[in-house]
Amino acid sequence: MGINFDLTDLQAFRAVVELGNFRKAAEAISISQPALSRRIDKLESALGVPLFERTTRSVTLTTVGRVFARSAEQLLDDLDVALLGIRDVSSSRLGHVTIACVPSVAYYFLPNLIATYHRRFPRIRVKLLDASANEVLSAVINGEADFGVSFMGSQEPEIEFKMLLQERFVAACRRDHPLARKKRVTWNELYAHEYVSVDKTSGNRLLLDQALSAVAPRAPSVCETRHVTTMLGLVEAGLGVAAVPSMAMPGHDHPILTSVPLVEPVVNRRVGIVKRRGRALTPAAEEFHRMIIEAKRGRMASDA
């Protein structure tokens, strides 16, 4: 005996899952609330189990509903992938895209892109996971994110890494600091001053430890933090100087902070898109992925 539900029932189910409200879900897929309720009732009857726990104030998934939600989402995403190229499903569907990104890149690169994407596809929700490089890789590999933007992953067998840009590490300091007057700063000069650093859980720390094996700090850092953006706040407060990726620095017109290139050696990091190898992106994610590539091409053209 076949299962007696169809695609419109699954779409109604996903709308309620994503919006957590029957009225909003009905509006999102342009049907009446009673019609939406009938589709959910039909789906539950066909499966023989309740999918939602309903109260006057909230709608939550049952345990079985949470399991079914993952299968339904995958099924609808697979259908969208199959239809990609036949019609523009992204512009009309209710969906979501999840991007994992290291905070320094998220702050610099993604806000304007997310705003543009929302204007083009207002019905698609964007979720940004700003996390460490290791957490970005984990989110992509485990399927928690559609794709990521990070500086780690090029050596991972499960990951496809497409480089977007290469940036160097610079010395971040206050404009009234002695290093701010220099044209370039060696790592030994940097470590001669009080400095702040990222801790051992940071991908930047791993990268620097590998690149600077022959350069030993003269003293331990005065403070460790997990994220570069927090470290810059400590530098601004006068706690010390710091080595940061150039992308993390605020604009040249910042009233307090400035940066100086670090040399002996020059240390670079490669920033790119990380995707799970062999896994097709959903149309919503594919569109955002395309916009990132186009934005990078446009930036390179403007810099040429």
Torsion region of 238: left, alpha or beta (phi above 0 gives left; psi -120 to 50 gives alpha): left
Helix axes 283-303, 63-83, angle to 10 degrees: 60
Q: What is the number of domains present in the chain?
A: 3
- Is residue 88 domain-resident? no
Q: Are residues 221 and 237 in the same domain?
A: yes
Question: pLDDT digit string (tens) for 247-263?
Answer: 889 888 899 999 999 99
Of residues 246, 219, 243, the one with CA closest to residue 231: 243
Q: What single letter denotes the amino acid at residue 242?
A: A
Measured CA to CA, the distance from residue 33 to residue 26 in angstroms comes to 5
DSSP 252: T
- At 83 the pLDDT is 59
For residue 58, give its domain range. Answer: 7-83
**Which of 61, 83, 105 finishes a domain?**
83
**298: domain CATH number?**
3.40.190.10
| Inter-residue contact 170 to 186 (CB < 8 Å) | no
Q: What is the pTM of this model?
A: 0.65
φ/ψ of 168, rounded to 5, equals: -105, 160
Question: pLDDT digit string (tens) for 80-121?
Answer: 656 554 444 444 455 789 999 998 888 777 888 999 998 888
Measured CA to CA, the distance from residue 47 to residue 132 in angstroms comes to 40
Question: pLDDT digit string (tens) for 203-249?
Answer: 888 889 889 988 877 788 999 998 888 999 999 999 999 999 998 89
Q: Are residues 127 and 190 in the same domain?
A: no
Q: Are residues 239 and 264 in the same domain?
A: yes
Q: Are residues 181 and 258 in the same domain?
A: yes
From first CA to last CA, the distance across the chain in angstroms is: 64
- Is residue 2 domain-resident? no
φ/ψ of 270, rounded to 5, equals: -100, 120
Q: Are residues 207 and 261 in the same domain?
A: yes
How much is the mean pLDDT over the chain?
85
- At 147 the pLDDT is 95
Mean pLDDT, residues 23-41 taken together? 89
Structure tokens at 154: 């090029």
